Copies of this chain bind each other. A is one copy, B any other.
Amino acid sequence: MPAKQRSGSAETPTLAVQAFSRLHADILSAKLRPGEKMYVERLRATYGVGATPLREALSKLTSLDLVTAEGQRGFRVAPVSTANLLDITKTRAWVEGTALRAAIAGGDRRWEGQVLAAAHRLRGCPKSDGERLSDEWYRENREFHDALAGACNSPQTMIFRTQLYDLSDRYRRLSVQNGLGGRDFDAEHQSIMDAALARDADAAISLTIDHFVETTRVILSGESSDQDWVDRTIDTLRRDIRAGLGSFPAK
């Protein structure tokens, strides 16, 4: 039998890695609530692993800002706050904007093809399974944005992007989003892609910022009933983002 002898690199994942994946998923999906105490004994029972691999996973999550660890006082799910949500959105816009600009400057025909393919898959993906958007749609959404930034030619930047996407995603999933907020995601994605393929970096970045900022607005609106405060906060955020990126056409 010609079975592969060499085990490759996708070995049996270590228990610490499995625990990491499950904890990561459970924090992002808000099954573990922000600020919640993470009792090792309880997690041990839930995930069926010992304390050592658990602590290892928790330490790694600490570096990703999904868990906080304090002295001799154990671990907690990282807390959330409006300030943090705004900071994450701002940083994400900055990193994504830079990556986009570089990708648009350097992308070749293969890149164009991958963007078109990802956009096609995203369009064909069933959007909602009831009230909310489906998980598959969000996976395709991530892949579309990854494809756009892909040609920035910087692994380190892609790592930061992933980390920031995860942090944002938690806020989105925590939010009580009722409906789509009257947005047309297909149109938003289409215009971002059109601008990118037309090599109009300023337009693509500007549209992407809107894309991010509007999502943040929906989340904030779900938290606060003071629509006026939301508007002011979002305006400030948009101004902060623009202040970090270069000058833009007046739109």
A178 at the interface (CB under 8 A from B): no
Contact A154 B90 (CB under 8 A): yes
A191 at the interface (CB under 8 A from B): no
Contact A155 B87 (CB under 8 A): yes
Contact A246 B244 (CB under 8 A): no
Binding site for B on A (CB under 8 A): 9, 11-14, 16, 52, 55-57, 59-60, 62-65, 70-72, 87-88, 90-91, 94-95, 98-99, 101-102, 105-106, 152-157, 159-160, 164, 240, 243-247
Chain B residue nearest in CB terms to A247: B246
Shortest CB-to-CB span from A240 to chain B, Å, is 7
Residues of B near A105 (CB, < 8 A) are 243-244
Cβ-defined partner of A246 (8 Å) among B106, B155, B246: B246
Beyond known contacts A60-B62, A87-B155, A101-B243: 9 more, CB 8 A cutoff? A12-B72, A16-B59, A52-B52, A87-B156, A90-B154, A90-B157, A91-B154, A102-B240, A105-B243
Cβ-defined partner of A244 (8 Å) among B56, B57, B102: B102
Residues of B near A64 (CB, < 8 A) are 63
Residues of B near A11 (CB, < 8 A) are 71-72
Pairs A–B under 8 Å by Cβ, sample size 21 = A9-B70, A9-B71, A12-B71, A14-B71, A14-B72, A52-B55, A55-B56, A60-B60, A60-B63, A87-B154, A87-B156, A90-B157, A91-B157, A94-B95, A98-B98, A101-B246, A106-B240, A160-B160, A246-B246, A246-B247, A247-B247
